[in-house]
Amino acid sequence: MPDTELSSLAPPSRFNFAWIGGVFFRPRRTFAQISAQHGSAWLAAMAILTLSALLQVLAAGSVKHSQQSQGSPASLPPDFQYYTEEQKAQYTQMAEATSGPMFVYIFPSVGAVIGLWAGWAVVSFILYLVMTLLGGQGDPISAFNLTAWASLPFALRDLVRAGYLLTTGQPIAAAGLSGFIAGGDSSWLQYLAALLSLVDLYFLWSMALLVIGMRARTGMGLARAAGGVVLTMLGVILLQALLSFLAARLGGLTITQPFF
């Protein structure tokens, strides 16, 4: 659909909360409106994602604090079962040394916000480049807008995880599809577990929304738009899983938070 037709669907807006329901229930119409914007329209979506990420961090911190106050063992990272015995001992010592509010709430909150915003910028820029190479018409601002709003399923995931943490009082043992990986100490299994922890229903939902948005903005066919989104997101999670794996192997023994 030409830009002249799309621009009539919605007035320019940089902070439009009215699109929230539309993203979930009327995605085609809503992303046609978002793609028609010629300026920044990502503030509302990123504000929601930031708040949901902070809520999950606070819920996880509350669970950890409760376990510490009751004398329970420190919560374990999702892939703890794949650590070597030496790594497990190092993690236990580190958990005891980092049990204060600064490490339970402040640092994780800062890390979650930085990871969210940096990841959004990286995904948006790569997606713009990939779509341009595939012949799609668009601009970087549109890619940033569409990526932000297509990421709203991750906010729903944060709320679900926060609810689970607060109601059960237990940390999430295996995020995403990582629970399907059998235990083991090999580097390959650790990397595969880190990769599968990033893949879940909300991730696939976000990809589907990106395809809808890119088709509305660039005018590309379904096959090219879906191919560009899959290529972008696959490259992002492969790199992110590698960074998470290296962080666990070389330094803090802590799996880094997903970009979204």
With respect to residue 260, please indicate whether it lies within any of the assigned structural domains.
no
For residue 236, is it within any domain? yes
Rg, the chain, Cα only: 20
**Per the domain annotation, does 256 fall within a domain?**
no
Say if 255 falls within a structural domain. Answer: no
Read off the pLDDT of residues 71-87 as tens digits, 9 standing for 90 and up. Answer: 555 556 656 766 777 77
pLDDT digits (tens, 9 = 90+) for 229-242: 999 999 999 988 88
Q: What range does the domain containing 225 cover?
A: 3-250
How many domains, in total, are found in the chain?
1
Whether 121 is covered by a domain: the verdict is yes
pLDDT at 251 over 70: no
Using a pLDDT cut of 70, give the percent of the chain over it.
80
- Both tokens of 46, joined, read 């990123």
pTM of structure = 0.80
Average predicted confidence (pLDDT) for the chain: 82
- What is the mean predicted confidence (pLDDT) over 166-177? 84
The answer to whether residue 134 sits within a structural domain is yes
Distance of CA 188 to the CA centre of its chain: 23
Task: Tell me whether residue 258 is in a domain.
Answer: no
pLDDT-wise least confident of 124-133, 177-186, 205-214: 177-186
Within 13 A of 44's CA, how many CA atoms are on the CB side? 15
- For residue range 127-156, list pLDDT tens digits in order: 999 988 888 777 889 999 999 999 999 999
